[in-house]
Structures are given as structure tokens and as C-alpha cells.
Structure 1
Amino acid sequence: MSGRFYDPDGSRFGLPTFPFRMAPDGYATRRQLRAAGLRPGGQPIAAQLLWHSRRYQRPGRPPVRYAYLYRIDRALPVRPMTARRAAALGRAMAARRTCPHCGRDAGYVIPTSLGMCVACHEAADQRAA
């Protein structure tokens, strides 16, 4: 067991902290709750997992990843998808696919780094060159 991230009383990290794959029963991440048909339901973060990751190293920051844990007994069922919620979600996704320059549905989500569809961006690059 990694003693570096084991702090069940929260004295060192402020929250009860456990190493990766060492969370006690009764706790789950958001993804685990969703897979079980549950949601946190407004409850505060109950604990956290910490682990060292060489894959996610960033310059000037320690390569430590985290995941927050919620209590399963306080979780609520996921709200059902209604027709109005599905329509609103469809409109929001359509807005993300619509190019603000040409007004066409690009068929994919417009990259925020470009701010326009790829065709408009390439045309703008050709005009600038």
C-alpha cells in the first residue's frame, strides 16, 4: 500500500484520502455513480483518491492525479430524460456544430481553438497568405 497518499482521517490533505484502487466500500466516483444509475445529488465531496501518474506530467506541477469520491448511501437516482430536456440538448448540440461565419451545420463540433469550421478556417488562411 502506498503510504504517501493514505490519509483516512484527512489530517494531511483536508479530506479523507486513499491511494488508487484502495477506496473503502460505500464510496464511488461520479462515473461509478452514473454507471449505477445514481448522481451525487448535491452532497459534498466525501473523500478523494490520489495517485502518481507519469503519463500526465506537466512542467512545474507534480504528476499527481485525483478523483473525488461521494457516499453511495446519500446518492440520488438520475433524473429521467424528458422530451423537453432532450429537445434542449439537441438544440445546444446543433449550436455547437453551426459555424458562426458561414452558418452551415459542419457535422461536427466546431473547435473552440479555430472559432469556425475547418473549411472557413482554411479559406481564411489562404486569403491571409
Structure 2
Amino acid sequence: MTETSSDLGPVTAFHLLSARRRVAAVVAVEEANEPISSGELATMTAAAEHGRPPGRLGGRSASAVKADLENDHLPRLVAHDVLRDAEDGYAAGANLESLLSIVDTTVERFGGRSPLATAERQPGDDGPALDGDG
């Protein structure tokens, strides 16, 4: 059973955001003006993980990241309606804003800068409160 906005709690939110690749997917989709494919998400994430621009990355790295996103991370985000399958990729689900709000509220309460402040971060960057590899 999928959770709705009203029952996506902090424990679920932090579980969903405990992996850098899930954070990267959420941030990239949140910033996009249109659905973004798993291939594009993989390229952006792999490039950020290797500290390279997306155009200067070998295909093997992006392929491995794409498989990981498609087999693990994206289905979890879709199952909780954080992302939704769109015709041309992934788009924001009903719980995306709730998820980001929970994280921002928690970071505010305990001090520090939000790891999801996307103006200066790239998908795949580590955030101070979300350091898990899960």
C-alpha cells in the first residue's frame, strides 16, 4: 500500500533519503521542468559521484548507476509516491514536497544548512545530514 502525503512520516522520509542516489533522483526530478528519464538521472548521478561533467563520463559507470536506480532506488520512491512514472521518465509525485519539507524542517530544528538546498549542489553530492550509503 502506498503512503499519501498525510502519512509520509519522518522515519519513512529519512529511510528514503538514506541513500545518496535516491537523494540525487529526488533533487533532479524536483528541479526539472519536465519528466526526466532513468538514463538522464543515471548520467547526472554518475558524473557527480565521479566529480566529472556528465559529457565526460564513460558509459559503463552510467550503466551501472542506471541499473541500481531502476532496480532499487526509483521503485522505492515511486512506491511512496515521491516520484511517479511519467510517459517520458519520472516526475514529481504527490509526496515529493512533503518529503523535502520533512527534511528541511528537521535540518532547521537541529541547525545546519539543508542538504537539499539545490541552488548550489549537484545531484549525488553528499549532504551533512544524509551521509548514508543505503
Larger radius of gyration: 1
> What is the TM-score of this pair, normalised by structure 1?
0.24
**TM-score, length basis structure 2:** 0.23
Compare the two structures and name the one with the higher helix fraction.
2
Higher normalized strand content (fraction of residues): 1
